[in-house]
A and B are shown apart, each in its own frame.
Chain A
Amino acid sequence: GAVVSQHPSWVICKSGTSVKIECRSLDFQATTMFWYRQFPKQSLMLMATSNEGSKATYEQGVEKDKFLINHASLTLSTLTVTSAHPEDSSFYICSALDREDQPQHFGDGTRLSIL
């Protein structure tokens, strides 16, 4: 089955640091990738939709300059949390679609802790 690899699985860093999270589709080409954020015991909140070769579409309330998304190839999308602060600490999950009528495949997620 389709596999999505997300890296790193967890990261702890100091306030003010920028953190990059990678999302790769390993055995299929993902024309669209999604980035979600999840706080403990809450639902997944869609942050942005990423299409290969074009600018990401951000959800209302998500700061574009804070959460930089790059989808440079059909198998890789990256999310960079710039100048991270403690309130950015969360579980970030990516997912990928190979076709529009197919379900999305999720990565294992990244637990981000900002001290």
Chain B
Amino acid sequence: GQQVMQIPQYQHVQEGEDFTTYCNSSTTLSNIQWYKQRPGGHPVFLIQLVKSGEVKKQKRLTFQFGEAKKNSSLHITATQTTDVGTYFCAGPDMRFGAGTRLTVKP
């Protein structure tokens, strides 16, 4: 099945700095989903991208889907301590990327 590769594995930032995580697939994806998992919690759905070149924003979060629908990114502007957690992408086959663990130093 499809597999999404996600980088980086870890990201440590100072509060106020920006953060980006990337997902790539060797095959075209019909859609890609992004989730956030807080320590000790379960994944929480953030967004689903479907269209080529799609860009969606949720407050400080910006999600992009590549023109070829093979890559996607999640960008957080001016991180806050509440952004701490692991961000996962998942393909339409419900398989998750490795995740990017974000820590934010106050």
List residues of chain A with CB under 8 Å of any chain B CB: 34, 36, 41-46, 49, 93, 95, 103-109
Contact between A106 and B96, CB atoms less than 8 A apart: no
Any A CB within 8 A of the CB of B68: no
**How many Å lie between the Cα of A49 and that of B94 in the bound state?**
9
Contact between A93 and B94, CB atoms less than 8 A apart: no
Known pairs A41-B101, A103-B33; A46 contacts B42 (CB<8 A): no
**How many Å lie between the Cα of A80 and that of B22 in the bound state?**
35
Chain B contributes a number of interface residues (CB within 8 A of A) equal to 16
Any A CB within 8 A of the CB of B78: no
Contact between A108 and B94, CB atoms less than 8 A apart: no
Residues from chain B with a CB closer than 8 A to the CB of A42 are 98-99
Any A CB within 8 A of the CB of B12: no
Q: In this complex, what residue of A is CB-closest to B46?
A: A103
Distance from B30 Cβ to chain A, minimum over Cβ atoms (Å):
9
Residues from chain A with a CB closer than 8 A to the CB of B33 are 103-104
**How many Å lie between the Cα of A34 and that of B88 in the bound state?**
16
Residues from chain A with a CB closer than 8 A to the CB of B101 are 41
Q: Which 7 A-B pairs have the closest CB atoms?
A: A103-B45, A106-B42, A44-B96, A43-B99, A43-B98, A109-B42, A43-B96
Known pairs A41-B101, A43-B99, A44-B88; A107 contacts B94 (CB<8 A): no
**How many Å lie between the Cα of A106 and that of B99 in the bound state?**
17
A-B contact pairs, 5 of them (CB 8 A): A43-B96, A43-B97, A46-B93, A103-B48, A104-B45
B40-65: which residues lie under 8 A (CB-CB) from chain A?
Answer: 41-45, 48
Partner of B43, one of A45, A46, A106: A106
